[in-house]
Structure 1
Amino acid sequence: MDDYLVRGVTAQKQSNLRGIACVTTRLVHEVCRQHDTSPTATVALGRALTAGALLSSLLKGDQRVALKFEGNGPLKKILVEANSAGNVRGYVGVPEVDLPLKQGKFDVARAIGRAGFLTVTKDLQMKEPYKGIVQLYTSEIAEDVAYYLTESEQIPSAMGISVFLEPSGDVALAGGFLLQSLPPADETVIASLIERIEQMPPLSEFFQAHHTPEALLQHLFRDIPFDIFEKHPLTFQCTCSKPRIERALISLGAEELTHIIAEEEQTEVVCEFCRAQYQFTRQELSAVLATIQ
Protein backbone atom coordinates (compact mmCIF):
# COMPACT_ATOMS: atom_id res chain seq x y z
CA MET A 1 0.00 0.00 0.00
CA ASP A 2 1.32 3.45 -0.92
CA ASP A 3 1.50 6.03 1.85
CA TYR A 4 -1.41 8.43 1.89
CA LEU A 5 -3.65 10.51 4.13
CA VAL A 6 -7.39 11.12 4.22
CA ARG A 7 -9.36 13.93 5.87
CA GLY A 8 -12.97 13.72 6.90
CA VAL A 9 -15.58 15.77 8.73
CA THR A 10 -18.79 14.68 10.36
CA ALA A 11 -21.93 15.34 8.39
CA GLN A 12 -23.92 16.25 11.49
CA LYS A 13 -23.24 19.88 12.31
CA GLN A 14 -23.93 19.30 15.97
CA SER A 15 -21.01 16.83 16.15
CA ASN A 16 -18.51 19.17 14.49
CA LEU A 17 -15.64 16.68 14.38
CA ARG A 18 -12.61 16.45 12.14
CA GLY A 19 -10.85 13.16 11.50
CA ILE A 20 -7.53 12.48 9.76
CA ALA A 21 -5.95 9.08 9.20
CA CYS A 22 -2.85 7.98 7.34
CA VAL A 23 -0.46 5.17 6.52
CA THR A 24 3.24 6.10 6.53
CA THR A 25 5.04 2.76 6.20
CA ARG A 26 7.23 3.57 3.19
CA LEU A 27 7.99 7.06 4.40
CA VAL A 28 9.13 5.86 7.82
CA HIS A 29 11.12 2.98 6.31
CA GLU A 30 12.98 5.27 3.92
CA VAL A 31 13.90 7.90 6.51
CA CYS A 32 15.02 5.33 9.09
CA ARG A 33 17.01 3.40 6.48
CA GLN A 34 18.92 6.53 5.54
CA HIS A 35 19.77 7.24 9.15
CA ASP A 36 20.49 3.60 10.04
CA THR A 37 18.39 3.86 13.18
CA SER A 38 18.24 1.22 15.91
CA PRO A 39 14.84 -0.40 16.62
CA THR A 40 14.04 1.98 19.49
CA ALA A 41 15.10 5.04 17.49
CA THR A 42 13.14 3.76 14.48
CA VAL A 43 9.91 3.57 16.48
CA ALA A 44 10.47 7.01 18.06
CA LEU A 45 11.36 8.70 14.78
CA GLY A 46 8.59 6.85 12.95
CA ARG A 47 6.00 8.09 15.40
CA ALA A 48 7.25 11.67 15.05
CA LEU A 49 7.23 11.45 11.23
CA THR A 50 3.64 10.17 11.31
CA ALA A 51 2.64 12.97 13.69
CA GLY A 52 4.19 15.48 11.29
CA ALA A 53 2.28 13.94 8.38
CA LEU A 54 -1.01 14.23 10.29
CA LEU A 55 -0.38 17.88 11.20
CA SER A 56 0.60 18.69 7.61
CA SER A 57 -2.99 18.07 6.57
CA LEU A 58 -4.06 21.11 8.60
CA LEU A 59 -1.89 23.42 6.48
CA LYS A 60 -2.71 25.35 3.32
CA GLY A 61 -0.79 26.64 0.31
CA ASP A 62 2.97 26.62 0.90
CA GLN A 63 2.71 26.40 4.68
CA ARG A 64 5.03 24.15 6.72
CA VAL A 65 5.17 22.73 10.22
CA ALA A 66 8.13 21.54 12.30
CA LEU A 67 8.02 19.36 15.43
CA LYS A 68 11.01 19.27 17.76
CA PHE A 69 11.11 16.88 20.71
CA GLU A 70 13.95 17.62 23.12
CA GLY A 71 14.25 15.55 26.26
CA ASN A 72 16.81 14.41 28.81
CA GLY A 73 16.92 10.88 27.36
CA PRO A 74 19.68 9.35 25.23
CA LEU A 75 18.00 10.16 21.87
CA LYS A 76 18.64 13.85 22.68
CA LYS A 77 16.14 15.22 20.14
CA ILE A 78 13.86 14.42 17.22
CA LEU A 79 13.15 16.97 14.50
CA VAL A 80 10.47 16.52 11.83
CA GLU A 81 9.34 18.92 9.11
CA ALA A 82 6.30 18.58 6.84
CA ASN A 83 4.48 20.75 4.32
CA SER A 84 0.93 21.03 3.04
CA ALA A 85 1.73 18.80 0.03
CA GLY A 86 2.47 15.85 2.34
CA ASN A 87 6.26 15.94 1.95
CA VAL A 88 7.88 14.90 5.24
CA ARG A 89 11.46 14.66 6.47
CA GLY A 90 13.11 14.17 9.86
CA TYR A 91 16.00 12.89 11.92
CA VAL A 92 16.87 11.77 15.43
CA GLY A 93 19.80 13.13 17.42
CA VAL A 94 21.44 9.81 18.32
CA PRO A 95 20.12 7.17 15.88
CA GLU A 96 22.05 4.25 17.39
CA VAL A 97 20.32 4.45 20.79
CA ASP A 98 18.50 1.20 21.61
CA LEU A 99 16.85 0.30 24.89
CA PRO A 100 15.44 -2.94 26.36
CA LEU A 101 11.73 -3.53 25.85
CA LYS A 102 9.44 -2.43 28.66
CA GLN A 103 6.55 -4.84 29.20
CA GLY A 104 7.03 -6.05 25.65
CA LYS A 105 6.94 -2.57 24.11
CA PHE A 106 9.57 -0.15 22.85
CA ASP A 107 10.50 2.29 25.61
CA VAL A 108 10.18 5.48 23.58
CA ALA A 109 9.39 7.60 26.65
CA ARG A 110 12.68 6.70 28.33
CA ALA A 111 14.61 7.12 25.07
CA ILE A 112 13.31 10.67 24.66
CA GLY A 113 13.32 11.46 28.36
CA ARG A 114 10.51 12.49 30.65
CA ALA A 115 11.84 16.02 31.18
CA GLY A 116 11.93 18.27 28.15
CA PHE A 117 9.91 20.23 25.64
CA LEU A 118 7.93 19.90 22.43
CA THR A 119 8.29 22.88 20.13
CA VAL A 120 5.86 23.30 17.24
CA THR A 121 6.84 25.86 14.62
CA LYS A 122 4.45 26.81 11.83
CA ASP A 123 5.51 28.75 8.75
CA LEU A 124 2.15 30.21 7.73
CA GLN A 125 3.71 32.45 5.07
CA MET A 126 3.39 35.47 7.32
CA LYS A 127 6.05 37.89 8.51
CA GLU A 128 7.17 35.69 11.40
CA PRO A 129 6.60 31.96 11.99
CA TYR A 130 4.30 30.91 14.80
CA LYS A 131 6.00 28.97 17.59
CA GLY A 132 4.38 27.10 20.47
CA ILE A 133 6.22 25.30 23.28
CA VAL A 134 4.86 22.86 25.85
CA GLN A 135 6.53 20.55 28.33
CA LEU A 136 6.67 16.91 27.33
CA TYR A 137 3.49 15.25 28.57
CA THR A 138 4.26 11.51 28.37
CA SER A 139 7.14 11.47 25.83
CA GLU A 140 5.17 8.93 23.80
CA ILE A 141 4.90 11.33 20.80
CA ALA A 142 1.17 11.02 19.98
CA GLU A 143 0.03 12.00 23.45
CA ASP A 144 2.44 14.94 23.48
CA VAL A 145 1.18 16.32 20.17
CA ALA A 146 -2.45 15.90 21.25
CA TYR A 147 -1.62 17.65 24.53
CA TYR A 148 -0.02 20.52 22.60
CA LEU A 149 -3.07 20.91 20.31
CA THR A 150 -5.46 20.84 23.26
CA GLU A 151 -3.51 23.12 25.60
CA SER A 152 -1.70 25.51 23.26
CA GLU A 153 -4.08 25.78 20.31
CA GLN A 154 -7.25 25.16 22.38
CA ILE A 155 -8.52 22.42 20.05
CA PRO A 156 -9.51 19.24 21.97
CA SER A 157 -7.59 16.49 20.16
CA ALA A 158 -6.79 12.80 20.29
CA MET A 159 -3.97 11.18 18.35
CA GLY A 160 -2.97 7.56 17.93
CA ILE A 161 0.17 6.34 16.15
CA SER A 162 1.68 2.91 15.59
CA VAL A 163 5.04 1.83 14.18
CA PHE A 164 5.38 -1.95 13.93
CA LEU A 165 8.74 -3.58 13.20
CA GLU A 166 9.75 -6.88 11.65
CA PRO A 167 12.07 -9.10 13.76
CA SER A 168 14.88 -7.79 11.52
CA GLY A 169 14.17 -4.24 12.68
CA ASP A 170 12.71 -3.14 9.34
CA VAL A 171 9.48 -1.15 9.36
CA ALA A 172 6.53 -3.47 8.70
CA LEU A 173 3.84 -0.82 8.98
CA ALA A 174 3.26 2.68 10.30
CA GLY A 175 0.23 4.90 10.48
CA GLY A 176 -2.06 6.85 12.74
CA PHE A 177 -5.03 9.12 13.26
CA LEU A 178 -5.93 12.55 14.58
CA LEU A 179 -9.41 13.45 15.84
CA GLN A 180 -10.36 17.02 16.72
CA SER A 181 -13.47 18.58 18.19
CA LEU A 182 -14.27 22.00 16.76
CA PRO A 183 -16.54 24.52 18.45
CA PRO A 184 -19.29 24.20 19.40
CA ALA A 185 -18.33 20.90 20.98
CA ASP A 186 -20.78 18.08 21.72
CA GLU A 187 -19.53 16.65 25.02
CA THR A 188 -21.62 13.48 24.67
CA VAL A 189 -20.12 12.65 21.27
CA ILE A 190 -16.61 13.43 22.54
CA ALA A 191 -17.08 11.10 25.51
CA SER A 192 -18.28 8.36 23.15
CA LEU A 193 -15.21 8.77 20.92
CA ILE A 194 -12.86 8.67 23.90
CA GLU A 195 -14.46 5.40 24.99
CA ARG A 196 -14.05 3.93 21.50
CA ILE A 197 -10.39 4.91 21.36
CA GLU A 198 -9.75 3.35 24.75
CA GLN A 199 -11.44 0.11 23.68
CA MET A 200 -9.70 -0.14 20.32
CA PRO A 201 -7.24 -2.95 19.66
CA PRO A 202 -3.63 -1.78 19.14
CA LEU A 203 -3.35 0.23 15.91
CA SER A 204 -0.70 -2.19 14.66
CA GLU A 205 -3.27 -5.00 14.78
CA PHE A 206 -5.79 -2.83 12.95
CA PHE A 207 -3.37 -2.05 10.11
CA GLN A 208 -2.04 -5.61 10.01
CA ALA A 209 -5.53 -6.73 9.09
CA HIS A 210 -5.04 -4.68 5.89
CA HIS A 211 -7.41 -1.98 7.02
CA THR A 212 -7.04 1.37 5.24
CA PRO A 213 -7.04 4.91 6.64
CA GLU A 214 -10.62 5.21 5.38
CA ALA A 215 -11.58 2.09 7.35
CA LEU A 216 -9.86 3.52 10.43
CA LEU A 217 -12.01 6.66 10.30
CA GLN A 218 -15.08 4.49 9.72
CA HIS A 219 -14.18 2.44 12.79
CA LEU A 220 -13.69 5.55 14.93
CA PHE A 221 -16.79 7.47 13.83
CA ARG A 222 -18.93 4.34 13.39
CA ASP A 223 -22.53 5.57 13.82
CA ILE A 224 -21.61 9.23 13.25
CA PRO A 225 -22.12 10.13 9.56
CA PHE A 226 -19.01 11.65 8.01
CA ASP A 227 -17.64 12.60 4.61
CA ILE A 228 -14.08 12.19 3.33
CA PHE A 229 -13.24 15.33 1.38
CA GLU A 230 -9.51 14.96 0.76
CA LYS A 231 -6.98 12.26 -0.02
CA HIS A 232 -3.37 12.89 -0.92
CA PRO A 233 -0.06 10.99 -0.97
CA LEU A 234 2.63 11.22 1.70
CA THR A 235 6.29 11.02 0.72
CA PHE A 236 9.75 11.51 2.11
CA GLN A 237 11.26 14.53 0.43
CA CYS A 238 14.19 16.67 1.50
CA THR A 239 14.41 20.31 0.45
CA CYS A 240 18.17 20.61 0.83
CA SER A 241 20.31 21.98 -2.01
CA LYS A 242 23.72 23.57 -2.36
CA PRO A 243 22.31 27.13 -2.29
CA ARG A 244 20.37 26.29 0.90
CA ILE A 245 23.52 24.83 2.47
CA GLU A 246 25.35 28.03 1.52
CA ARG A 247 22.77 30.05 3.43
CA ALA A 248 23.31 27.77 6.42
CA LEU A 249 27.07 28.39 6.18
CA ILE A 250 26.44 32.14 6.26
CA SER A 251 24.75 31.67 9.64
CA LEU A 252 28.07 30.39 11.03
CA GLY A 253 29.42 33.93 10.88
CA ALA A 254 32.54 35.49 9.37
CA GLU A 255 34.91 34.37 12.14
CA GLU A 256 34.01 30.67 11.91
CA LEU A 257 34.08 30.68 8.09
CA THR A 258 37.48 32.37 8.10
CA HIS A 259 38.78 29.64 10.39
CA ILE A 260 37.40 26.88 8.14
CA ILE A 261 38.92 28.47 5.03
CA ALA A 262 42.32 28.69 6.70
CA GLU A 263 42.24 25.06 7.90
CA GLU A 264 40.58 23.13 5.06
CA GLU A 265 41.28 22.92 1.32
CA GLN A 266 37.83 21.40 0.83
CA THR A 267 34.89 21.21 3.23
CA GLU A 268 32.10 18.62 3.24
CA VAL A 269 28.69 19.48 4.66
CA VAL A 270 26.16 16.69 5.28
CA CYS A 271 22.42 17.38 5.37
CA GLU A 272 21.05 16.26 8.73
CA PHE A 273 17.76 15.18 7.16
CA CYS A 274 18.75 13.10 4.12
CA ARG A 275 22.52 12.57 4.61
CA ALA A 276 23.27 14.14 1.21
CA GLN A 277 26.87 15.37 0.99
CA TYR A 278 27.86 18.78 -0.39
CA GLN A 279 31.45 19.70 -1.20
CA PHE A 280 32.74 23.28 -0.92
CA THR A 281 36.17 24.31 -2.14
CA ARG A 282 38.19 26.99 -0.39
CA GLN A 283 37.33 29.35 -3.25
CA GLU A 284 33.59 28.67 -2.86
CA LEU A 285 33.74 29.30 0.88
CA SER A 286 35.67 32.52 0.26
CA ALA A 287 32.83 33.63 -2.00
CA VAL A 288 30.33 32.84 0.75
CA LEU A 289 32.46 34.81 3.22
CA ALA A 290 32.53 37.78 0.83
CA THR A 291 28.73 37.99 0.92
CA ILE A 292 28.92 38.47 4.70
CA GLN A 293 31.68 41.06 4.59
Structure 2
Amino acid sequence: MTDQDTLRRFIFEQAGVRGEWLKLTDSWQAVSDNHAYPPVVKEQLGHAVAAATLLAATIKFNGALVLQAQGEGSLKAIVAQCTHDRCIRGLARYREPVVAGGLSQLYGSGRLVLTIETERKKPYQGIVSLDGENLAQALENYYQQSEQLPTRLWLFANETTVSGLFLQALPAASGFGSDWERIVMLADTIRAEELLDLSCEAVLHRLFHEETLRLFKAEPIQFKCSCSNGKIERTLKSLGRASLEEILEERDAITVDCEFCNQQYHFDRVDIELLLVPEIDLGTSKISH
Protein backbone atom coordinates (compact mmCIF):
# COMPACT_ATOMS: atom_id res chain seq x y z
CA MET A 1 0.00 0.00 0.00
CA THR A 2 1.26 3.45 -0.91
CA ASP A 3 1.29 6.44 1.39
CA GLN A 4 -1.55 8.13 -0.50
CA ASP A 5 -4.92 8.31 1.28
CA THR A 6 -3.66 6.53 4.38
CA LEU A 7 -3.43 6.98 8.12
CA ARG A 8 -0.63 5.45 10.20
CA ARG A 9 -0.73 5.15 13.96
CA PHE A 10 2.42 4.91 16.06
CA ILE A 11 3.36 4.84 19.72
CA PHE A 12 6.40 5.79 21.79
CA GLU A 13 6.12 2.87 24.18
CA GLN A 14 8.86 4.07 26.52
CA ALA A 15 7.53 7.63 26.66
CA GLY A 16 3.77 7.23 27.06
CA VAL A 17 2.92 9.12 23.87
CA ARG A 18 0.80 8.04 20.92
CA GLY A 19 0.72 9.59 17.48
CA GLU A 20 -0.85 9.52 14.05
CA TRP A 21 0.32 10.53 10.59
CA LEU A 22 -2.08 11.26 7.74
CA LYS A 23 -1.92 12.00 4.03
CA LEU A 24 -4.94 12.46 1.75
CA THR A 25 -4.73 12.96 -2.02
CA ASP A 26 -7.50 11.43 -4.17
CA SER A 27 -9.95 11.41 -1.26
CA TRP A 28 -9.20 15.07 -0.52
CA GLN A 29 -9.74 16.06 -4.14
CA ALA A 30 -13.04 14.15 -4.14
CA VAL A 31 -14.13 16.23 -1.13
CA SER A 32 -12.94 19.61 -2.38
CA ASP A 33 -13.68 19.36 -6.09
CA ASN A 34 -17.44 19.23 -5.49
CA HIS A 35 -17.37 23.01 -5.02
CA ALA A 36 -15.28 25.86 -6.43
CA TYR A 37 -13.96 27.01 -3.07
CA PRO A 38 -11.67 30.06 -2.80
CA PRO A 39 -8.10 29.02 -1.82
CA VAL A 40 -8.47 30.25 1.78
CA VAL A 41 -11.72 28.32 2.28
CA LYS A 42 -10.27 25.21 0.65
CA GLU A 43 -7.28 25.29 2.97
CA GLN A 44 -9.50 25.60 6.05
CA LEU A 45 -11.68 22.73 4.86
CA GLY A 46 -8.54 20.63 4.35
CA HIS A 47 -7.45 21.32 7.92
CA ALA A 48 -10.88 20.26 9.19
CA VAL A 49 -10.97 17.05 7.13
CA ALA A 50 -7.48 16.13 8.35
CA ALA A 51 -8.42 16.86 11.96
CA ALA A 52 -11.67 14.87 11.82
CA THR A 53 -9.83 11.88 10.36
CA LEU A 54 -7.06 12.01 12.94
CA LEU A 55 -9.47 12.38 15.86
CA ALA A 56 -11.79 9.60 14.66
CA ALA A 57 -8.82 7.22 14.68
CA THR A 58 -8.24 7.85 18.40
CA ILE A 59 -11.52 6.27 19.50
CA LYS A 60 -13.24 2.90 19.13
CA PHE A 61 -16.82 3.31 17.95
CA ASN A 62 -19.33 2.48 15.22
CA GLY A 63 -20.58 5.69 13.72
CA ALA A 64 -19.13 9.03 12.70
CA LEU A 65 -17.14 11.87 14.19
CA VAL A 66 -18.30 15.28 12.98
CA LEU A 67 -16.18 18.40 13.39
CA GLN A 68 -17.88 21.78 12.92
CA ALA A 69 -16.34 25.24 13.09
CA GLN A 70 -19.03 27.91 13.08
CA GLY A 71 -18.88 31.69 13.15
CA GLU A 72 -20.33 35.00 12.07
CA GLY A 73 -17.48 36.08 9.79
CA SER A 74 -16.92 35.59 6.07
CA LEU A 75 -16.27 31.90 6.75
CA LYS A 76 -19.63 30.88 8.18
CA ALA A 77 -19.08 27.16 8.74
CA ILE A 78 -16.81 24.23 8.03
CA VAL A 79 -18.10 20.68 8.48
CA ALA A 80 -15.93 17.56 8.24
CA GLN A 81 -16.94 13.99 8.95
CA CYS A 82 -15.02 10.73 9.33
CA THR A 83 -16.66 7.40 10.03
CA HIS A 84 -15.29 4.48 12.02
CA ASP A 85 -14.37 2.75 8.74
CA ARG A 86 -12.39 5.80 7.56
CA CYS A 87 -14.83 7.32 5.08
CA ILE A 88 -14.62 11.10 4.86
CA ARG A 89 -16.67 13.99 3.54
CA GLY A 90 -16.82 17.73 4.16
CA LEU A 91 -18.19 21.08 3.07
CA ALA A 92 -17.81 24.80 3.71
CA ARG A 93 -20.22 27.74 3.78
CA TYR A 94 -18.87 31.24 3.27
CA ARG A 95 -19.58 34.64 1.82
CA GLU A 96 -17.22 36.59 -0.41
CA PRO A 97 -14.72 38.05 0.01
CA VAL A 98 -12.84 35.65 2.27
CA VAL A 99 -9.49 37.12 3.29
CA ALA A 100 -6.67 34.99 4.73
CA GLY A 101 -6.04 35.37 8.44
CA GLY A 102 -6.40 33.72 11.82
CA LEU A 103 -9.59 32.17 13.14
CA SER A 104 -10.92 35.45 14.50
CA GLN A 105 -10.46 37.14 11.10
CA LEU A 106 -12.14 34.25 9.27
CA TYR A 107 -14.94 33.28 11.63
CA GLY A 108 -15.37 36.31 13.85
CA SER A 109 -16.86 35.13 17.14
CA GLY A 110 -17.04 31.39 16.64
CA ARG A 111 -17.33 28.01 18.27
CA LEU A 112 -15.91 24.54 17.72
CA VAL A 113 -18.28 21.59 17.95
CA LEU A 114 -17.20 17.95 18.06
CA THR A 115 -19.95 15.34 17.79
CA ILE A 116 -19.60 11.57 18.02
CA GLU A 117 -22.60 9.86 16.45
CA THR A 118 -23.02 6.17 17.26
CA GLU A 119 -25.56 3.63 16.13
CA ARG A 120 -27.00 2.70 19.50
CA LYS A 121 -26.23 5.59 21.85
CA LYS A 122 -27.20 9.23 22.05
CA PRO A 123 -24.63 11.46 20.32
CA TYR A 124 -21.83 12.89 22.45
CA GLN A 125 -21.15 16.55 21.80
CA GLY A 126 -18.42 18.89 23.03
CA ILE A 127 -18.52 22.64 22.40
CA VAL A 128 -15.80 25.24 23.05
CA SER A 129 -14.98 28.71 21.79
CA LEU A 130 -13.09 28.83 18.51
CA ASP A 131 -9.89 30.22 20.01
CA GLY A 132 -6.39 30.21 18.56
CA GLU A 133 -4.59 31.25 15.41
CA ASN A 134 -5.64 28.12 13.52
CA LEU A 135 -7.79 25.01 13.80
CA ALA A 136 -4.95 22.96 15.26
CA GLN A 137 -4.63 25.38 18.19
CA ALA A 138 -8.41 25.44 18.68
CA LEU A 139 -8.45 21.64 18.93
CA GLU A 140 -5.52 21.64 21.32
CA ASN A 141 -7.50 24.02 23.52
CA TYR A 142 -10.51 21.72 23.25
CA TYR A 143 -8.53 18.72 24.46
CA GLN A 144 -7.02 20.74 27.29
CA GLN A 145 -10.48 21.78 28.49
CA SER A 146 -12.47 18.60 27.89
CA GLU A 147 -10.06 15.67 28.06
CA GLN A 148 -7.25 17.33 30.03
CA LEU A 149 -4.75 15.39 27.96
CA PRO A 150 -1.71 17.16 26.45
CA THR A 151 -2.40 17.09 22.70
CA ARG A 152 -0.71 18.66 19.67
CA LEU A 153 -1.73 18.77 16.01
CA TRP A 154 -0.04 19.93 12.82
CA LEU A 155 -2.43 20.40 9.89
CA PHE A 156 -1.55 21.40 6.32
CA ALA A 157 -3.45 21.51 3.03
CA ASN A 158 -2.92 22.60 -0.56
CA GLU A 159 -4.73 22.03 -3.86
CA THR A 160 -3.82 18.35 -4.14
CA THR A 161 -2.87 17.09 -0.69
CA VAL A 162 -3.94 17.23 2.95
CA SER A 163 -1.59 16.08 5.69
CA GLY A 164 -1.61 15.94 9.45
CA LEU A 165 0.38 14.90 12.47
CA PHE A 166 -1.19 14.15 15.86
CA LEU A 167 0.52 13.60 19.21
CA GLN A 168 -1.12 12.90 22.56
CA ALA A 169 0.15 11.93 25.99
CA LEU A 170 -1.43 8.70 27.16
CA PRO A 171 -3.68 8.98 30.25
CA ALA A 172 -1.39 6.80 32.37
CA ALA A 173 1.77 8.68 31.35
CA SER A 174 1.81 11.39 34.02
CA GLY A 175 5.38 10.52 34.95
CA PHE A 176 6.70 11.14 31.43
CA GLY A 177 6.46 14.94 31.32
CA SER A 178 9.99 15.47 30.06
CA ASP A 179 9.49 12.82 27.35
CA TRP A 180 6.36 14.60 26.11
CA GLU A 181 8.14 17.94 25.97
CA ARG A 182 11.07 16.43 24.05
CA ILE A 183 8.87 14.68 21.50
CA VAL A 184 6.77 17.81 20.92
CA MET A 185 9.91 19.90 20.52
CA LEU A 186 11.13 17.50 17.83
CA ALA A 187 7.76 17.48 16.07
CA ASP A 188 7.65 21.28 16.06
CA THR A 189 10.55 21.29 13.59
CA ILE A 190 8.35 19.81 10.84
CA ARG A 191 7.74 22.04 7.83
CA ALA A 192 4.57 22.13 5.76
CA GLU A 193 6.29 20.93 2.59
CA GLU A 194 7.81 17.96 4.44
CA LEU A 195 4.52 16.77 5.87
CA LEU A 196 2.77 17.28 2.52
CA ASP A 197 5.43 15.62 0.36
CA LEU A 198 7.32 13.00 2.39
CA SER A 199 6.25 9.44 3.19
CA CYS A 200 5.26 8.45 6.70
CA GLU A 201 8.52 6.61 7.31
CA ALA A 202 10.52 9.58 6.04
CA VAL A 203 8.68 12.01 8.30
CA LEU A 204 9.05 9.83 11.39
CA HIS A 205 12.73 9.23 10.67
CA ARG A 206 13.30 12.93 10.08
CA LEU A 207 11.67 13.85 13.41
CA PHE A 208 12.21 10.90 15.74
CA HIS A 209 15.17 8.85 14.48
CA GLU A 210 16.68 8.82 17.97
CA GLU A 211 13.42 7.69 19.60
CA THR A 212 12.00 4.18 19.95
CA LEU A 213 8.57 3.93 18.40
CA ARG A 214 6.28 1.25 17.02
CA LEU A 215 4.56 1.97 13.71
CA PHE A 216 1.26 0.24 12.93
CA LYS A 217 -0.02 -0.82 9.52
CA ALA A 218 -1.54 1.70 7.13
CA GLU A 219 -5.29 2.30 7.22
CA PRO A 220 -6.88 3.35 3.91
CA ILE A 221 -9.02 6.50 3.75
CA GLN A 222 -11.69 7.11 1.12
CA PHE A 223 -14.27 9.72 0.22
CA LYS A 224 -17.79 8.38 0.61
CA CYS A 225 -21.00 10.31 1.06
CA SER A 226 -23.69 8.77 3.25
CA CYS A 227 -26.58 10.43 1.44
CA SER A 228 -29.16 8.11 -0.12
CA ASN A 229 -32.58 8.14 -1.71
CA GLY A 230 -34.02 6.58 1.43
CA LYS A 231 -32.62 9.30 3.69
CA ILE A 232 -33.96 12.04 1.43
CA GLU A 233 -37.37 10.34 1.36
CA ARG A 234 -37.48 10.23 5.16
CA THR A 235 -36.57 13.91 5.34
CA LEU A 236 -39.31 14.86 2.89
CA LYS A 237 -41.82 12.66 4.66
CA SER A 238 -41.07 14.41 7.95
CA LEU A 239 -42.20 17.71 6.39
CA GLY A 240 -45.76 16.42 6.14
CA ARG A 241 -48.29 16.41 3.33
CA ALA A 242 -49.33 20.06 3.70
CA SER A 243 -45.77 21.40 3.32
CA LEU A 244 -44.98 19.14 0.38
CA GLU A 245 -48.20 20.05 -1.42
CA GLU A 246 -47.44 23.73 -0.86
CA ILE A 247 -44.05 23.28 -2.53
CA LEU A 248 -45.62 21.39 -5.44
CA GLU A 249 -48.06 24.24 -6.02
CA GLU A 250 -45.07 26.38 -7.03
CA ARG A 251 -43.22 23.79 -9.10
CA ASP A 252 -43.80 20.48 -10.84
CA ALA A 253 -41.28 18.53 -8.78
CA ILE A 254 -39.04 18.68 -5.73
CA THR A 255 -35.29 18.54 -6.26
CA VAL A 256 -32.89 17.98 -3.38
CA ASP A 257 -29.13 18.50 -3.75
CA CYS A 258 -26.61 16.90 -1.39
CA GLU A 259 -24.12 19.61 -0.48
CA PHE A 260 -21.40 17.08 0.31
CA CYS A 261 -21.28 15.23 -3.03
CA ASN A 262 -23.57 17.23 -5.38
CA GLN A 263 -25.80 14.19 -5.93
CA GLN A 264 -29.25 15.35 -7.05
CA TYR A 265 -32.49 13.66 -6.00
CA HIS A 266 -35.65 14.34 -8.04
CA PHE A 267 -39.22 13.69 -6.87
CA ASP A 268 -42.20 14.44 -9.11
CA ARG A 269 -45.83 14.55 -7.98
CA VAL A 270 -46.28 10.82 -8.39
CA ASP A 271 -43.15 10.11 -6.32
CA ILE A 272 -44.38 12.39 -3.53
CA GLU A 273 -47.84 10.82 -3.54
CA LEU A 274 -46.34 7.33 -3.29
CA LEU A 275 -44.09 8.58 -0.51
CA LEU A 276 -47.11 9.70 1.51
CA VAL A 277 -49.11 6.48 1.11
CA PRO A 278 -49.45 4.86 4.57
CA GLU A 279 -47.38 1.71 4.96
CA ILE A 280 -49.27 -1.54 5.38
CA ASP A 281 -48.12 -3.74 8.22
CA LEU A 282 -48.31 -7.18 6.66
CA GLY A 283 -47.47 -8.79 9.96
CA THR A 284 -50.69 -7.66 11.63
CA SER A 285 -53.11 -7.38 8.71
CA LYS A 286 -55.99 -9.84 8.44
CA ILE A 287 -57.31 -11.40 5.27
CA SER A 288 -61.04 -12.10 5.22
CA HIS A 289 -62.77 -14.43 2.82
* TM-score range for the pair, normalised by the shorter chain length: 0.7 to 0.9
Once residues 217 and 91 of structure 2 are traced to their aligned partners in structure 1, the CA distance between those partners, rounded to angstroms, is 28
Q: What is the one-letter code of the residue matched to 1:41?
A: V
- Whether the aligned pair in 2 keeps the contact of 1:6 and 1:214 (CA below 8 Å) is no
Per the alignment, residue 153 of structure 2 pairs with: 159
Amino acid in the other structure paired with 1:271:
C
Q: How many residues are aligned here?
A: 275
Residue 210 (structure 2) pairs with residue 223 (structure 1): yes
Q: CA RMSD in A?
A: 2.3
Q: Which residue of 1 aligns with 2:170?
A: 182
> Structure 1 stretches of 5 or more lacking a match?
100-105, 165-170
Q: TM-score, normalised by structure 1?
A: 0.85
Relative to structure 1, the CA distance from residue 225 to residue 123 in structure 2 (aligned partners, 3 Å threshold; closer, same or farther) is: same
- Counterpart residue type for residue 7 of structure 2: L
Q: 1:251 offset after TM fit, Å? A: 4.0
Report the equivalent of 1:195: 185
Tell me if structure 2 keeps the 8 A contact 1:24–1:173: yes
Structure 2 residue aligned with 1:76:
76
> Equivalents in 2 of 1:133, 1:24: separation in Å?
27
For structure 2, the residue ranges without an aligned partner over 5 or more in a row are: 280-289
Contact 1:69 1:79 in 2 (8 A): yes
Which residue of 114, 128, 132 corresponds with 1:134? 128
Partners of 2:242 and 2:69 in 1: CA distance: 31
1:146 equivalent in structure 2: 140
Higher mean C-alpha deviation, range 233-242 or range 23-32: 23-32
Deviation at 1:80, TM superposition (A): 0.9
Question: Counterparts of 1:89-104 in structure 2 under 5 Å?
Answer: 89-94=89-94, 97-99=97-99
Structure having the higher Rg: 2
Q: CA 1:287/1:188 → structure 2, altered by over 3 Å: closer, same or farther?
A: same
Using a 3 Å threshold, how does the CA distance of structure 1 residues 253 and 93 change in structure 2: closer, same or farther? Answer: farther
Q: Identity across aligned pairs (percent)?
A: 29
* SS of equivalent residue, structure 1 residue 22: strand
Structure 2 equivalent of residue 102 of structure 1: none
How does the TM-score come out when normalised to structure 2?
0.86
Q: Provide Cα deviations, 1:34-82, integer angstroms capped at 9, x if missing partner.
A: 1111111110111111111111212435331000110121120011111
CA distance in structure 1 between the partners assigned to 2:85 and 2:97 by the alignment: 31
SS of the residue corresponding to residue 285 of structure 1 reads helix
Output the CA distance in 2 between the equivalents of 1:215 and 1:194.
17
Does residue 265 (structure 1) correspond to residue 259 (structure 2)? The answer is: no
